[in-house]
Every structure is written in C-alpha cells, then in structure tokens.
Amino acid sequence: MKNRRLLFGFLALIFGAGMILLTTSGSFRQIVSSSVKGNLAEGLENGWDYLSQIRGNYSTGQVNPADVLKARNQASGLRESGAIGLNWSSMGPDNFAGRTRAVILDNRDNSGRTVFAGSVSGGLWKSTSGGLTWNQIQAGGVILNVSCITQSKSGDIYVGTGETFASDRFNLFSGFIGQGIYKSTDGSSFTKLASTDPGTYNDPTAEWAFVNKIAAGDNNRVIAATNYGLKYSSDGGQSWSMAKSGGENLSGTSNEVKIGPDGAIAASVDNKLYVSPSGSADGFILRSTGAGQDSLPAEGVARIEVAFAPSDASTLYAVLISDGTLSGTLRGQLKGIFVSKNKGETWRLVGPGASPVFNVFGNAANTTHYGDYAASIVVSPTNPDKIYVGGVNVWEGLKVLDDGFYQWQQKTLGNAGLYFHQIFINPANELNAYMASDQGLALTEDDYVTIKLINKNYVTSMFYSVAYDDKGRVVGGSQGNGVVFLDQEGNTPETGTKIIPVDENNIPINLFVGGTVEMSMINPRAVFYSSTGGRLWRSTDLGVSQANNFIYNGEVTNNNGNVFITPFRIWEDFNNPNSRDSITFHAKANYNTGDVLSLKSKNAQFPFRYTLTQPLANGDSLHIVDPVSSIFFVGMTNAVYMSRDVLDFGKLPSWDRIANLTGVPSCLAYSSDANYLYVGTTDGKLLRIANIALAYDSLRADVRSSACIISSGIVKDFGARFVTSIAVDPNDDNHVIVTLGNYGNSEYVFRSTNALAQFPDFNPIQGNLPAMPVYSCLIEMNSSSRVILGTDLGVFTTESLGSSPSWTAENTGLGEIPVMMVRQQTVSRPWIDGITGVSNFGAIYLASHGNGIFENRMFVGIDGPGPDPQGKSVTLSVYPNPVQSEIHFNVSLNGNSSLQVSLYNLQGKLVKSVNFGMPGRGEHQLTIPASDLVNGTYLMKVTEGSSVKTAKFVVTK
C-alpha cells in the first residue's frame, strides 16, 4: 500500500479539559481529545453483562428468542379480567433519554420539522417541531423495541425492531428481542407486516426476532438485514425472499443494508460486504475478498457499516470493526474506513485502524473499544468526499489528497451524547443533522458549531432503581444518565436533575450508570446513591453536594469493585419499640405525672414527645428511650454490613458485619421491625439474618465478636439462578415472596408462609404468569393477598394468592416494557413541630427500563398524627367527597385553643390556610370555599392547640 499521511484538523469545538496537542513532521497535526472516560466505558460493558445475568439462561448464558416469544404469547391473554385497575402515571424524566438507534426526517414534510426516532426499549416517537417536543407512537398498543427506521421516496416508513448489537460481544442475547417490521403509509398509523411476525413459541428459528437494518427503494422494494439473513421484498413487505449471491442464499447474520441513489444495494452478511450493483435480489457480489491491496479485508471483522454518496452513485464507504482475533487488534476497535469509487470493486483506506490518535470507538486509555456496539456512517448530500462517522463521538472526514488519508476532526466531545448509532443529515440542508446515541437525540443546525440535546418529552430513560421522599419526589439509577433526581421544581414537574458526585480530588464524576438509590423520611434531604463498581455516596442536600465518605473506611473495603449494582436499603421507624438508644433530659422546672415533654432524637434531631409517668423535680435528670431509629444495610461480596448512624453527617458511620456469605448479594429486604433481613445472591441463594433488632452495639451485632447474637444461614437454594428481588409482607414476617431471573425456566415466583421457621418452605406461585424473568415484587401493604410484580413484560398483579394464582397484566399508561423495580412508600411519619406527615403514604413507584419512572396513588392514604397527643378522642369528616364548590367538614373540638385549617396538595405544598378563631368545645360544622382549587386530591389538616386531625378529600369540577 502506498505511503499515506494522516491529517487531523483542529476540532470545530475546542473546549473541555484534558486536550493535548501533538505535532509530527511537516504540517500534519494530530489532536488527542477527551474520549469516553473509563467509568463510562465500564458502565456500558457491565450493563450488558448485568442484563445477561438476569435475563440469560443460566445454563447457556443466552436468551433463546423462542422463550421470549412464548412469554409474549402467554401474556397476550392476561390483559382484561381480574385487573385491580392500576393506572400508571409517568413521572419522567422528560429531559433525559435512553439508548436510541434510529432517527429520520419525514421526506413528505417540506418544512423539515417532522422527525421519527426509536428507542431500543422505549418505543417509537414522533416530533412535528424539529425535535423540540415528542409524542410516543404505540403500534397496536405495543411499545416497540426499535432498532432502525427507514423511508422510501414515496413516503412509506418502515420500522425494524429487535436489538442484537448489545449481544454480539458476549454471544449473548442481552438485547431486546423485537416484534418484526412495522409500516406506515401516513406517518401516523403503524401496522405490523404480518410476513415479519417473529413467530409463535413453537417456531425455534424466530426469523424476524432481530431486524438490524432496513433499506427502502423505488417500486416497493424493501431489503431487511436480520438475524436470519438478508431478506428482499418487491411488494412493500407483504412477502419476502432470501437475497442471493452466486445462486446461494445470504442466510447468515446480516447487520447492515443501504440502497444507493441509483438503486444499487450494499449489505453485510456474516461480517462480509456484498453489493448488488443493479439492485436485483439475486445479483449480490462478494466485495470482502481480502485479495490484493485495493480489496476490502475479509478477516478479523466484527461489524461493517456502509453508506452510498447521495450525489455520486458509484461512491461507497465502508467502516470495518475488528473482532480482536488478529495480532495487534482489539475487539470493537476501528479496523479501517474505506472508500470505493466503483461500487465496491476496488477500495482505498481513508481512515486508519488501531490508531492511538484516531480513536473513534475507544475509551480514553485506548484499551477498550465499542465499534461492534455503536457505529454509524453518513455521506454529505452534496460532497461525495465528505463523511461523518459515529462511534463514541462523531468525527468528520474530508478528502484532501487523492491517495492519502482523509483529514479527520472530532465534531463532538460528549456534548451531543455518547455512543452514536445513527446520524441523519437533512438532504435539503446539510448543516442540519440529527444524531441518535445512548443518551437520546441531539441536533446541530450549523455543521456542529453548536449542538443541542433534543430530548424534551422524549421519555425513554432506562432505569434500574427508584426511591422516594416524603413529598413524592423521586430519585433513580439509570443506564446512560447516571443518577437522576426528579424534584418537581424544574421547567416541568417531570424535569430531572443529574446528581454528579466528585472523586477524591474533588473532580466531578459524570456517571454513565446509576445503581441503587435511597431517600430518608427522618431527614428528608438525605439521599444515598451509587454507581457501578461498588461506588456509593451520600448527600444531605438532595444531591446538590456530596457529603463525606460514609462506607469505605477501616471497617469496610470496596470488595464490590466488579459488581454492577450494589444492593442497599434503609429502614426507618419513628416509634421503634426495640430501640436501645436514649437521650438525657435535664429538668429546668417542676413537672407532674402526665406532662408531655418535647424532645429531639439523636437521629437527625427529629422531634418526638414523651409523657412523664412520674413527677420530675427541677434539676433532676431522666434517661428517655429515643424512639426514632434508622438502620442502613448493604450487601457486599461475601458479607453483609449494617450501620445505625448513616444519617449523622458529622462523622463517618460505624459498620458491623452482620453476616458472612459466599457469593455476591443481588437484593435485600427487611421485616417490618428490621429484626430479620433477607439477602438474595446472584447464584440463587437466599440468606436469612435474624436477631438484628436487639443487636444494638458492635459486640452483639458484628459476627467477628464472640458476643454476637445475630444468626444467619441459607434458607433456600434456587439452583444457580439470579435472585432478583425479595418482598416481606409488612403485616406478617412469616410471609415472604422471592422472584428469579433467567429465561429458559418455568417458575419465577416463590412464596413462603413460614419464612421464620428453621426450614421454611418456598413454593412456586407461578400460576398463569408467563415464563419470563420477574425483576421485582411487592406485597401491597393493605392486603397480604395483593401482589404486584415487575417483569420483562411490564406489571402483573394478583389478589388471590394460592398454589396457582391468577395473574393479570396492569400496564395501563405503562405498556409492556421491562420493569426493574417496584416499591411502595410504607413509612409513616407523625405531624409534629411544623414537620408534616408524608403525602405519599401507600404510593407505588416503578423503575422502567425504557420509559422512565412511573407512579400510582391508588392506595395512598394520608399519614395523620395517630392518637391525639392529649389522649382525647377527636373526629374530623369532610362532605360531600368529592368536593365541588365548597368544602364542608364536621369537627369535634376541645375548645381551649384557636382553630387553624390548612389544605395541602399531595406534593406536600400548602395551598390554603384559614383561621377560625375559637369556635368553642363540641361538634362544629364549618365550610371553606373550594372555587380556587384545581381538580385533584388534597389533605386537610385541622389544628387546635396540640391536637391535630387530618382528612383526605378530592376536588372534581
């Protein structure tokens, strides 16, 4: 090959830290810019591995598409009868997005404002405002696993489903299996092409499980690159035949196909490039021969991306990704970018592979590469010698010499997202380009001089976890956007804020993955959050700033360095009968029996009341049990730890190792009094830890102490399967449900009604539930027979537990998308000293892996103060309920103080306050105007001296 010179132009956007300028001989300059950091790259790869662990068959490590199709078929009949009636409300975030592999401009809209985009698990979306706002399109009530979108010149749109690129690296189907190809002739209604149905469960081939790319030409020609070969249709997708080369079917795995401006077709099959110069279905010619210096390499290739030049039908580009089998190459690394001026007959290299400078697909250290996962290429509509290549970032290549490398310059630095799967240039204005990445969608309107994210209302975030505070604000751990807090105070209530921790040098860490999260009810501004690799943080201001390290010190080391998600839970109680903590009260006056003292807990200084049982003289002191308690549990490799003082931000908490185990904890669940903790592991073990409530110091709590009273042991072995969740009945410690992952099995939900026995029984309660991974379980706090599951196909419920319960899909407002976590707010808190009770007692929250976080308030009850502080019987009732124009209420009063009535919405915000003076002792009928209240649910708080009463009412107009 001729001596070639590498030209790298200056970046169009020169910003960010870590930029190094190197010079070589002559005038050639190279720029090493900030590529993806190590933790971002690790988060991506570990995310694939995690999905493989919880979804793959534990024997083969793979997801058989037939198992997924069988589950879908079983689920289709469970959507009507027996439903509880759970309607899910999206909480957002509406400004962060998930992995997006496809974006196109509608060629029928001359204004260029209609855009279609697709998420791999969040569905198909449409914008008529150039991406400023988005609306989801459900095809037949199904949220599509979109992998690609294309449009014919006539305007027909084809949407391919099923993601395989995340699977190839491990030879695992950790990606999302699709539903075939959907077509629209009007851009509004999308219908599945019956000919592309992946098949029923008894079709093991599942020919249409993964539609990786589609190309649409003139005269109803459609070509589909699928997991079962390169398919060709001449009737708009009504029927299909196999494309051929030399009379042989191209039946291998096909990942790429493009149609040129004159109808020629280029496609990859088994990582080799084939071209049909005439566009005929049987005229494909192998172009990856590896013969001669001007041929396309045939060995060591993991993926090929191609693009024709719209302005020159003979110009064809190919991006080759290495499979790592050849010496000096790494899996996912750029093997080379090639151009052909004769539709693939001969080639020349224009972008070198394995370059430490031209690092298109690698991490900052140039040690790990992801071209087999994220790669794309597009050619300028007017200049056949100008291309854009998407990898970790977007690069521009421009011909400057007829026989040399192109001049390359990096056009993005993470400001447009990371891991680019498609770039779409507006044919009418090539300064205008849309980009699809793991972080949603971005737009440039000035050839990358400026870039803006366009994820408004494009709700496609992929969450693993969710937690909530006393007002119903939520925080979640996501794939691609780290830890996101929804504080309901942004531009919209669904606007999220990214929580960004710092490292030991106080440098911000831009998290790619968010793991387990928790929020406190004792200190409502305390939040705990994590990322992959066992990194945990805490904050005392809702994530605005990071507090001091709280876990890894002399007692605990980070032995979760290779763990994707570290499980932890916080237990809290405002009247803990097992508390051994105390405070000392020093009397500064004489007190009588029955007097009520106002005190502060050592736990975050939360106030509580204590009624004296005997007189207390001035100057005397009294030790009083502190009833406000919290315990933080965390599962580490081979051990479980707990701390009772993580809410003390003035010091590093003390930790006790409460159990040793063999393996990696995957989930935790405690009993209502935290006396028992259950631990599931990644290899199918269920551990029970007992006597926690009485282990109030390290001597009694730490298993390394000879005086330790805590006992633990494995109570169930589920046979190497991933234990995804554990639910303990809030009303019965003996009632425990365990869920499992891994396709290829028949039973995923197990129940025990004697969980505290020496040898408890765990029996399957699969019933009619489809055979699929169940990621999360909840025993609803108001009924021990009501169970809510988060599964690979959404939410399923039952209200009739038994050996074979009847399960019903409850996906209204949600859709059949993976639900990784289901949680209910079960912590009660008293109204005291200006601190309100919780507004979301009973609310249920979902972390979906595709459409963000959801909420349901069907079981919300208002958390009142409990018995009247003075011990008197009090009553309050609102009528009529629902309320329209006026709020009428009956209240019984003691008559010794003024009456204050406050109205709150369910977010805890005070919306109205009325003082009624002193109506006097006895029953009273009072009225408050409701004309200024919008429709919704409200809390009425009636305060008379130290007496507080609450009631809930609904306003409908």
523-534 tens-digit pLDDT: 999 999 999 999
By residue count, the chain amounts to 957
Extents of the domains making up the chain:
97-137+430-454, 462-579+628-856, 582-625, 877-955
Q: Considering only CA atoms, which of 171, 179, 178, 228 is closest in space to residue 57?
A: 171
Q: Which residues contact 130 (CB under 8 A, 6 or more apart)?
A: 112, 113, 115, 443, 454
pLDDT at 84 over 90: no
DSSP, collapsed to helix, strand or coil, labels residue 659 as strand
pLDDT score recorded for residue 44: 73
* pLDDT band with cut points at 50, 70 and 90 for residue 936: confident
Query: Which two structure tokens, joined as six digits, stand for 717?
Result: 């072995």
pLDDT at 45 over 90: no
Worst-scoring range by mean pLDDT, 118-132, 503-517, 786-800? 503-517
Query: Which two structure tokens, joined as six digits, stand for 412?
Result: 């993005």
DSSP, collapsed to helix, strand or coil, labels residue 676 as coil
The pLDDT of 630-640, averaged and rounded, is 98
Query: Which two structure tokens, joined as six digits, stand for 397?
Result: 């290549």
Is residue 444 within 8 Å of residue 433, measured between CB atoms? yes
pLDDT at 32 over 80: no
Q: What is the 3-state secondary structure (H, E, C) of 252-288?
A: CCCCEEEECCCCCEEEEECCEEEEECCCCCCCCEECC
Cα angle 930, 934, 936; round to 5: 100
Q: Where are the beta strands (DSSP E) in 227-355?
A: 229-233, 241-242, 244-245, 248-249, 256-259, 265-269, 272-276, 285-286, 301-309, 312-322, 334-340, 348-352
For the chain, give the mean pLDDT.
Answer: 89
CA distance 714 to 758: 10
pLDDT score recorded for residue 14: 32
Q: What is the DSSP string of 840-861?
A: -TT-EEEEEBSS-EEEE-TT--
Cα angle 542, 547, 549; round to 5: 135
> What is the per-residue pLDDT across 719-774, written as a single tens digit (0 to 9) for each?
999 999 999 999 999 999 999 999 999 999 999 999 999 999 999 999 999 999 99
Query: Which two structure tokens, joined as six digits, stand for 859?
Result: 């079981």
Task: Name the percent of the chain lying above pLDDT 70.
Answer: 91
pLDDT score recorded for residue 503: 86
pLDDT score recorded for residue 79: 64
DSSP, collapsed to helix, strand or coil, labels residue 41 as helix
CA distance 88 to 854: 6
CA distance 389 to 101: 14
Q: Which residues contact 3 (CB under 8 A, 6 or more apart)?
A: none
pLDDT score recorded for residue 82: 62
CA distance 180 to 159: 8
Looking only at the bridges linking them, the beta strands covering 7-8 and 407-410 are: parallel
φ/ψ bin of 201: left (φ > 0), alpha (ψ from -120 to 50), beta (otherwise): alpha
Q: Which fold has domain 462-579+628-856?
A: Methylamine Dehydrogenase; Chain H (2.130.10)
**What number of other Cβ atoms are within 10 A of residue 813's Cβ?**
14
Query: Which two structure tokens, joined as six digits, stand for 331?
Result: 């899996």
pLDDT: is 65 or 307 the higher one? 307
Q: Which residues contact 82 (CB under 8 A, 6 or more apart)?
A: 798, 799, 806, 808
The pLDDT of 215-228, averaged and rounded, is 96
CA distance 463 to 480: 9
CA distance 861 to 868: 18
Please state, in angstroms and as integers, the Cα–Cα distance from residue 435 to each residue in 241, 303, 373, 707, 786, following that order. 32, 20, 16, 61, 44
DSSP, collapsed to helix, strand or coil, labels residue 350 as strand
> What is the per-residue pLDDT across 787-845, written as a single tens digit (0 to 9) for each?
999 999 999 999 989 889 999 999 999 999 999 999 999 998 888 888 888 889 999 99
Query: Which two structure tokens, joined as six digits, stand for 701?
Result: 């709590």
pLDDT at 872 over 50: no
Q: Which residues contact 910 (CB under 8 A, 6 or more apart)?
A: 902, 903, 904
pLDDT at 31 over 70: no
Please state, in angstroms and as integers, the Cα–Cα distance from residue 314 to each residue in 260, 309, 389, 858, following that order. 8, 8, 19, 62
The pLDDT of 410-435, averaged and rounded, is 95
Q: Which residues contact 936 (CB under 8 A, 6 or more apart)?
A: 905, 906, 954, 955
CA distance 422 to 435: 6
> What is the per-residue pLDDT across 444-464, written as a single tens digit (0 to 9) for each?
999 999 999 999 999 999 999
CA distance 817 to 811: 9
Query: Which two structure tokens, joined as six digits, stand for 947?
Result: 């007496």
Q: What is the architecture, at CATH level 2, of domain 877-955?
A: Sandwich (2.60)
Question: What single DSSP character describes residue 133?
Answer: S
Query: Which two structure tokens, joined as six digits, stand for 954?
Result: 């609904």
pLDDT at 172 over 80: no
Q: Considering only CA atoms, which of 89, 940, 913 is closest in space to residue 488?
A: 89
pLDDT at 615 over 60: yes
Q: How many helices (H) and strands (E) does the chain have?
A: 4, 71
CA distance 419 to 412: 11
pLDDT at 38 over 90: no
